[in-house]
Chains A and B, each alone.
Chain A
Amino acid sequence: MAELSNQLMALTVLAYLVAMVCYAGEYAFGDRSRVGRAAVRPARQMVGAGAPVSGGEAPAVVVRPERRGEWAGRIAVGVNAVGVLLHLGAAATRGIAADRMPWGNMYEYILSATFVASAVWLGVVLRRPAVRHLGLFATLALVVLLGADGMIAYTPVGPLVPALNSYWFVIHVSTIILATGIFLIGAVPAAMFLIRDGYDGGKRRFPYTLGRNVPAAETLERLTFRLHAFAFPLFTFGALIAGPIWAEASWGRYWGWDPKEVWAFISWIVYAGYLHARATPSVKRTAATWIALLGFATMLMNLFGVNLFFSGFHSYANPGGM
């Protein structure tokens, strides 16, 4: 079963890669892209070649935009959905192999958190096809995170140490995984908003050129906010209420400034800062969104950095922690 989980994990990454390629296909050839528009442009230019054209006359001869991009996008969402199922399979078989919830160590934790991220992304894209152009970046983030998880954090299946044997473990970790997943996927529209905003502002250097084909800045910004506003209370509950309750039962203190706790605190503060900045009219939306990205960086630090650089009570991957 553990072997199956590993194979499913590899397939998941593969599926996301394929989805990424398809999203890229839509990104490049879809009707928002330059190639797509180029298919339209010659017709317009022919009309407008002789004399200035009045507004109403322009779309008289419009070639239908390329449908290839549209199809690439649809296939991408389909493959993405397959990827989500495989991802679920990888997490579930891992849980079955270990005979517990699949979040007992860093590898499983990231596997589950990225699953949530991916599922939320799929939910968003199914409800609002307009943001499908973000898929390239969402799947890219998923592939990178999952790849890093498999390469850096892989741990063989093992049982839980006694300290994890508590129902608060399920509550604490599941809510944090949900929140983390949503925060992670929330960083994608945040980054794309900044790029799109820069593009709209006339910047034409590299990262801003990506902004040409993504949804409108306002849509992206709103999506960013909604994802973060949804994840923040979940994170508050998971990290600052359920966690301390469990810590009190297990270690005797509700808060002990363990490195993981410190970084959860930092993430919480940064995301709180984002929500405050966004609610303050005098703070620009771009500034607020940068704060959200800073929160994403602290989240990554929490996912990878804390486990790799510091040792603390939360380092359950190594045996013997009690």
Chain B
Amino acid sequence: MTALEERAAPSAAPPPRRTNRVWALLRNSWRQLTSMRTALVLLFLLAVAAIPGSVFPQRAVNAEKVTEYYVTHPELAPWLERLGGFAVYASPWFAAIYLLLFTSLVGCVVPRLLDHVRALRLAPPDAPKRLDRLPRHTPAQRRAEDPAAVAAAVARTLRRRRFRTVVRERPDGGWTVSAEKGYLTEAGNLLFHFALLAVLIGVGFGHWYGWHGNRILIAGADQGFCNSLPQYDDSSLGPRVRPSDLPDFCLKLARFEAAYQPDGQPKTFSAAVTVSEDGGPDGLRSFTVNDPLRLHHASVHLIGHGYAPILGYTDRYGVSQTKVVPFLPIDGMQTSEGAAQFPDVNIDPKTDKRDPTLQVGFEGRYLPTVGTDGSATSAFPAENAPALFLTAYRGDLGLDVGTPGSVYALDQRQIATGELQNVSGPRPHKLEVGETWTLDDGTKLRFLGTRPYATLSIRYDPTQSLILTGAVLGLLGLMLSLAGHRRRIWFRALPAPADSGGGTLVAAGGLPRTDYPGFADEFSALVKAAEEGTP
């Protein structure tokens, strides 16, 4: 741009050239976008746009609550879905706001960075013609020494106070001293904003290349878990992660311990797992709530726990099956709900055929401590007086249809259509550990005990350290930018007219470049120090 103007200037009458409208529009839009006012508006839009995410349930935070919301607000929910109300922070309009904001930020800080680099390389500018127009100034005062000596002394004082100082000689024999301080303020400010960019980029890459999954891991060597997608209860891979990229490790829950306060508040949890990484030997490692298990390319977090009753079912032909079924806690006292499904039972050994109407399922609650008040909820989270309360169903469990259903509940549609029938009456049957329940058709269910399970969140996020570094640098920059002040000081030493007695007339001016209430004091202290020649 500047080169163009220089060339255009000498030509006597350049043809009037109309600015390209599209170009002008683009340029004006860019200027508008990178203005502070727009940035402020975008900031507030971002704050406002974040609110719905706290009001409506978010699928990424708690998918079950979204399902619940669909039930309680059947009319509103589909509309919210369309507007991205259940995934606010992944919605296009949220992204639009922060991308615009960061574009505006780039458009603002990149030129400022260039300016600052230039300012760092250039000497502080020469004194303005009229120092008395500056916010702070002192009228000229006479000093006995000659201008060069005065300027040198003043410069010494300023340099001692860590001002960046330049002394210039004027053609008329006078000297000026220009000094500037507070470069770190702008540097910190820029550091803060670039660190924000780094954090955003880190978050983006972390989303692309990270993955996480949840898995309920029941204690016992027969219940191991190896890191592959089908073994997760739910999982989500970043767009750039293929299932084969998952690191190779296997976990078995060796031990899980929970301790509680007398009122049922949890005190400590700890889990011990045998781990084998990359096909290596097993090693026993413990971890707990705030101290995850750090593997090479994943970390394993303990985010919940519960009980898995062990149920043995003996069918009409005397064939037994044993299942360990995790029940999900529904309150802090570990009242748990779940279902045990036995699809492959009552197979006639003569025909070897499965009768789909003779499948068996049980649904109900597990109470680790049955209270004395007869309530249907547990009185304490540890297993002091455990019992199962189950309802038995017989018929078609609906597992053969192929639609994935919950393993924690029976298929309610099958019950509604009568394909699956309640065979134990309206009241759930109570089973204590070791007890056997004989159903109406003579088949038996035995409650053999429970095993603890741990809910594990297994994650990998490659950019966490980048984000942390960015955040810490950002904080550092923020503190620098809030603590510092940029200001310029000028002294001008002119030879006093000979008829007035000679010597030097010294005037000073100061310009705070940021809001700096203490500048007046600093300026007068500086002028005083310069007068007295003290450092």
Contact = CB atoms under 8 A, between A and B. Distances in A.
A249 B54 contact: no
A253 interface: yes
A260 to B, nearest CB: 8
Contact of A262 (B51, B305, B459, B474): B51
Contacts of A200: none
Contacts of A237: 475
Contact of A320 (B43, B264, B457): B264
A269 B267 contact: no
A318 B475 CA distance: 33
B488 interface: no
Interface string A140-170: 0000000000000000001101110110100
A121 interface: no
Given A162-B288, A262-B51, A320-B332, A279 B514 contact: yes
Interface stretch (A13-21, A26-34, A239-247): A239-247
A306 B292 contact: no
A89 interface: no
B517 A263 contact: no
A282 interface: yes
B290 A163 contact: yes
Given A222-B517, A237-B475, A270 B40 contact: no
A3 interface: no
A318 to B, nearest CB: 7
Contact of B332 (A158, A168, A263, A321): A321
A310 B305 CA distance: 24
Contacts of B40: 273, 276-277, 280, 283
A42 interface: no
B468 interface: yes
Contacts of B212: 252-253
A158 to B, nearest CB: 6
Contacts of B58: 257
A269 B51 CA distance: 12
B292 A162 contact: no
Give the interface size bracket for A toward B: 35 or more
Contacts of A273: 40, 43-44, 47
A247 B365 CA distance: 32
Interface string A255-285: 1111100110110011011011111101100
Contacts of A275: 482
B267 A282 contact: no
A229 B479 CA distance: 9
B525 to A, nearest CB: 20
A252 B303 contact: yes
A304 interface: no
Interface in B430-484: 457-459, 461, 464, 467-468, 471-472, 474-475, 478-479, 482
B51 A319 contact: no
Interface in A216-252: 222, 225, 229, 232-233, 236-237, 240-241, 244-246, 248-252
Contacts of B482: 229, 232-233, 275
Given A159-B261, A232-B478, A252 B331 contact: no
Nearest to B65: A311
Nearest to B483: A229
Interface in B402-440: none
A199 interface: no
A210 interface: no
Given A162-B266, A166-B290, A270-B47, A254 B39 contact: no
B221 interface: no
Interface in B336-381: 381
A161 B54 contact: no
B517 to A, nearest CB: 6
Given A252-B212, A252-B301, A254-B467, A266 B47 contact: yes
B36 interface: yes
Contacts of A244: 471
B265 A161 contact: yes
A159 B264 CA distance: 11
A320 B381 contact: yes
Nearest to B206: A254
B50 A266 contact: yes
A249 B288 CA distance: 10
Nearest to B90: A257
Nearest to B458: A252
A246 B333 CA distance: 26
Contacts of B472: 241
A165 B333 CA distance: 20
Most chain A CB atoms below 10 A, which of B457, B472, B479, B482: B482
B515 interface: yes
A244 B474 CA distance: 15
Interface in A280-321: 280, 282-283, 298, 306, 310, 312, 318-321
A318 B299 CA distance: 28
B299 A252 contact: yes
Most chain A CB atoms below 10 A, which of B264, B301, B472: B301
Contact of A162 (B47, B289, B467): B289
A62 interface: no
A319 B263 contact: yes
Contacts of B288: 162
A229 B478 CA distance: 10
A4 interface: no
Contacts of A241: 468, 471-472, 475
Given A263-B54, A270-B44, A251 B265 contact: no
Nearest to A228: B482
Contact of B290 (A168, A236, A272): A168
B460 to A, nearest CB: 10
B37 interface: yes
A322 interface: yes
A249 B291 contact: yes
B119 interface: no
B457 A322 contact: no
20 contacts: A162-B268, A162-B269, A162-B288, A233-B479, A233-B482, A237-B475, A241-B472, A245-B468, A249-B290, A249-B291, A250-B290, A251-B457, A252-B292, A253-B461, A263-B54, A275-B482, A277-B40, A282-B36, A283-B37, A306-B54
Given A276-B36, A322-B305, 6 more contacts: A159-B261, A229-B482, A251-B303, A262-B53, A273-B40, A276-B43
